[in-house]
Structure 1
Amino acid sequence: MDEVGRGALAGPVTVGVVVVTQTVGRVPTGLRDSKLLTPAARDALVTPVRRWAADFGVGHAGPEEIDEHGIMVALRLAGERALAQLAAPVDAVLLDGNYNYLTPRRPAGTEDDGPDGDAEGLFDAPAVTGPAAPAVHVRIKADMTCAAVAAASILAKTERDRLLVGLAERHPAYGLEINKGYCTPDHSAALRRWGASPVHRRSWRLPGEDPGLFGGSDVPIGFEEGRAEPAPHGGENRPRER
Structure 2
Amino acid sequence: MQLGLDFTLVEALVAGVDEVGRGPLCGPVVTAAVILDPRRPIHGLNDSKKLTEARREKLFDEIREKALAWCIARAEVEEIDRLNILHATMLAMQRAVEGLSVLPRLALIDGNRCPVLSMPSRAVIQGDGQVPAIAAASILAKVSRDREMHALDLEYPGYGMAQHKGYPTPVHLEALQRLGATPIHRRSFAPVRLRLEQALRETSLTC
Q: Which category describes the TM-score, using the shorter chain as reference length?
A: 0.7 to 0.9
The answer to whether the Cα contact below 8 Å between 2:28 and 2:74 also exists between their aligned partners in 1 is: yes
What is the CA-CA distance between 1:70 and the residue it aligns to?
0.9
Over 3 Å counting, the alpha-carbon distance change for 1:154 and 1:220 in structure 2 is farther
Identity of aligned residues (%): 38
Larger RCO of the pair (alpha carbons < 8 Å, separation 6+): 2
- Tell me which of 135, 139, 144 is aligned to 1:150: 135
Distance between the aligned counterparts of 2:30 and 2:82, measured in 1?
17
Distance between the aligned counterparts of 2:69 and 2:108, measured in 1?
15
Aligned to 2:151: 166
TM-score calculated relative to the size of structure 2: 0.83
Aligned to 1:120: none
Distance between the aligned counterparts of 2:47 and 2:184, measured in 1?
27
Aligned to 2:9: none
The answer to whether the Cα contact below 8 Å between 2:187 and 2:193 also exists between their aligned partners in 1 is: no
TM-score calculated relative to the size of structure 1: 0.72
2:39 partner amino acid: V
- Tell me which of 40, 55, 58 is aligned to 2:72: 58
Distance between the aligned counterparts of 1:212 and 1:13, measured in 2?
24
- Tell me which of 16, 20, 24 is aligned to 2:39: 24
1:219 alignment partner, SS class: helix
State yes or no: 1:47 paired with 2:61.
yes
What is the CA-CA distance between 1:40 and the residue it aligns to?
1.1
Aligned to 1:96: 110
Q: Kindly indicate which of the two structures has a greater share of residues assigned to helix.
A: 2
Distance between the aligned counterparts of 1:56 and 1:208, measured in 2?
35
* Structure 2: stretches of 5+ with no match in the other structure: 1-16
Distance between the aligned counterparts of 1:208 and 1:69, measured in 2?
16
The answer to whether the Cα contact below 8 Å between 1:95 and 1:138 also exists between their aligned partners in 2 is: yes
Aligned length: 191
Aligned to 1:9: 25
The answer to whether the Cα contact below 8 Å between 1:24 and 1:52 also exists between their aligned partners in 2 is: no
What is the CA-CA distance between 1:150 and the residue it aligns to?
0.4
2:40 partner amino acid: G
What is the CA-CA distance between 1:213 and the residue it aligns to?
7.3
What is the CA-CA distance between 1:56 and the residue it aligns to?
0.4
1:88 partner amino acid: V
The answer to whether the Cα contact below 8 Å between 2:181 and 2:195 also exists between their aligned partners in 1 is: no
What is the CA-CA distance between 1:11 and the residue it aligns to?
0.4
Over 3 Å counting, the alpha-carbon distance change for 1:174 and 1:137 in structure 2 is same
Aligned to 2:4: none
The structure having more radius of gyration, on CA atoms, is 1
2:158 partner amino acid: A
What is the CA-CA distance between 1:73 and the residue it aligns to?
1.8
2:160 partner amino acid: G
* Structure 1: stretches of 5+ with no match in the other structure: 104-131, 227-242
What is the CA-CA distance between 1:159 and the residue it aligns to?
0.5
What is the CA-CA distance between 1:173 and the residue it aligns to?
2.0
The answer to whether the Cα contact below 8 Å between 1:188 and 1:207 also exists between their aligned partners in 2 is: no
Over 3 Å counting, the alpha-carbon distance change for 1:210 and 1:12 in structure 2 is closer
Over 3 Å counting, the alpha-carbon distance change for 1:211 and 1:9 in structure 2 is closer
Distance between the aligned counterparts of 1:220 and 1:179, measured in 2?
29
What is the CA-CA distance between 1:52 and the residue it aligns to?
2.7
The answer to whether the Cα contact below 8 Å between 1:191 and 1:208 also exists between their aligned partners in 2 is: no
**Pairwise CA RMSD:** 2.4
